[in-house]
C-alpha cells in the first residue's frame, strides 16, 4: 500500500511514500507513531493491523529524516479514509510486479507502476523488503 502525498504538505509534495510521520512526545514508541500517523493519514485503525516486523532505519537524503519502517498485514478490502490535506491518493502495487527484477530501475533506484514513480527512501525500503522475500524464497527451495 502506497500513498501519494498532496501538494499541500510542507515536504515531499506529490511524492510516493508509505503512510507515517513524525514522532510526537506523546508517542510511547516508533511503532505507536507509525500506527497513529497511519490512522490520521489513511484511516487505518491500529486494531486492524497485524505487525510482522520492523526494517532498518532509512535516512532521506534531501530532508535528512530518519525513517523507521514497519511491515504489517491489513484486511482487504478496507474502508480507508484519506486526509486529503496530506494524501492525494492511496494505491496498491501487486507483489508479483515488485518481485519481477525487470520492473526495478537500478540506474534511478526506482519502480514505476501505472504512472506512479516510487523512488528515494520509499524505494530503498521497498527494495529491502523485496530482497528479503527473494532470499526467503530461495532458502525454502
Domain ranges of the chain: 2-140
What value does the mean pLDDT of the chain take? 93
Above 90 in pLDDT, residue 58? no
Residue 46 CB neighbour total at 10 angstroms: 14
Above 80 in pLDDT, residue 12? no
Above 80 in pLDDT, residue 11? no
Band (pLDDT 50/70/90 cuts) for residue 10 is confident
- What DSSP state is assigned to residue 129? H
**pLDDT attached to residue 60:** 82
Q: Rounded mean pLDDT of 28-35?
A: 97
DSSP string, 37-84: HHHHHH---GGG-EEEEEPPPEE-TTT-PEE--EEEE--SS------T
Cell of 52: 510482522
* Domain 2-140 part of CATH 3.90.79.10: yes
**pLDDT attached to residue 127:** 94
Residue 9 CB neighbour total at 10 angstroms: 16
Q: Say if residues 108 and 119 touch (Cβ distance below 8 Å).
A: yes
Instruction: For cell 501505472, name the residue.
Output: 114
- The share of the chain scoring above pLDDT 70, in percent, equals 99
**pLDDT attached to residue 137:** 78
Per-residue pLDDT tens for 109-121?
Answer: 999 999 999 999 9
Longest CA span, the chain: 47
Above 80 in pLDDT, residue 29? yes
Per-residue pLDDT tens for 64-100?
Answer: 889 999 999 999 999 999 999 999 999 999 999 999 9
Amino acid at each position: 500500500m502506497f500513498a501519494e502525498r498532496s501538494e499541500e504538505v510542507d515536504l515531499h509534495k506529490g511524492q510516493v511514500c508509505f503512510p507515517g510521520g513524525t514522532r510526537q512526545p506523546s508517542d510511547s514508541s516508533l511503532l505507536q507513531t507509525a500506527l497513529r500517523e497511519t490512522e490520521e493519514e489513511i484511516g487505518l485503525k491500529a486494531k486492524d493491523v497485524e505487525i510482522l516486523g520492523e526494517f532498518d532505519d532509512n535516512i532521506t537524503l534531501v530532508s535528512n529524516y530518519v525513517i523507521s519502517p514497519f511491515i504489517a498485514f491489513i484486511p482487504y478490502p478496507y474502508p480507508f479514509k484519506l486526509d486529503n490535506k496530506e494524501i492525494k491518493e492511496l494505491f496498491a502495487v501487486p507483489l508479483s510486479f515488485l518481485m519481477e527484477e525487470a520492473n526495478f530501475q537500478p540506474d534511478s533506484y526506482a519502480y514505476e507502476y501505472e504512472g506512479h514513480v516510487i523512488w528515494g527512501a520509499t524505494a530503498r525500503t521497498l527494495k529491502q523488503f523485496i530482497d528479503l522475500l527473494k532470499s526467503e524464497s530461495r532458502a525454502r527451495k
